[in-house]
Amino acid sequence: MLLLHALFWGLVSLRVFGAALLSEERTTAVKPVATPCWLMEEFTVTRSCAQCNAFETKSYPSCAQTGFYERVNCTKSNRDEVKSCRSSQMEEQSFWHFEAVMLSLTVLFGVVVVTRQRALDRLASEKVRRQIESI
């Protein structure tokens, strides 16, 4: 039971810390990267959120964060840049994964409760039987 509790909280903490890691900017130590224009000025999305292919994953550092990117055009500097994004497809997949884990844990704990209740009922009836026999 303690192991299942630790497993559950491990999954929850992985999800929370994973989300925190995805929201942070990761920079490489090899070369300093200038601040992207979309952090400092208004921008328009020229290509909506799409999954990175193998080439884009190697080419764009923003693909390494979530596996998805979108092209943006900064209005003042008129620069085209690539920005990491969270796709609805990825969010939906994470949601259904979470739902599956919760359903599995519900079934597992339901079986544990029923098994424990039967064992306690068996002990109680054995105790009553012994008391009746001793009379």
In a domain, 113, yes or no: yes
Please state, in angstroms and rounded to a whole number, the distance separating the CA atoms of residues 30 and 38.
22
Tokens of 32: 């300093």
Tens of pLDDT, residue by residue over 72-91, are: 998 888 888 888 888 777 78
Contact 4, 108 (CB under 8 A): yes
pLDDT of residue 102: 97
Please indicate, yes or no, if residue 93 is contained in any of the structural domains. yes
Q: Examine residue 130 and state whether it is found in any structural domain, yes or no.
A: yes
> How much is the mean pLDDT over the chain?
80
* Domain containing residue 123: 88-135
The answer to whether 83 and 70 are in contact (CB under 8 A) is yes
Count of domains for the chain: 1
Q: Which is higher by pLDDT, 104 or 62?
A: 104
Task: Please report whether residue 104 resides in a domain.
Answer: yes
Residue 112, in any domain of the structure: yes
Residue 129 in domain: yes
Is 1 within a domain? no
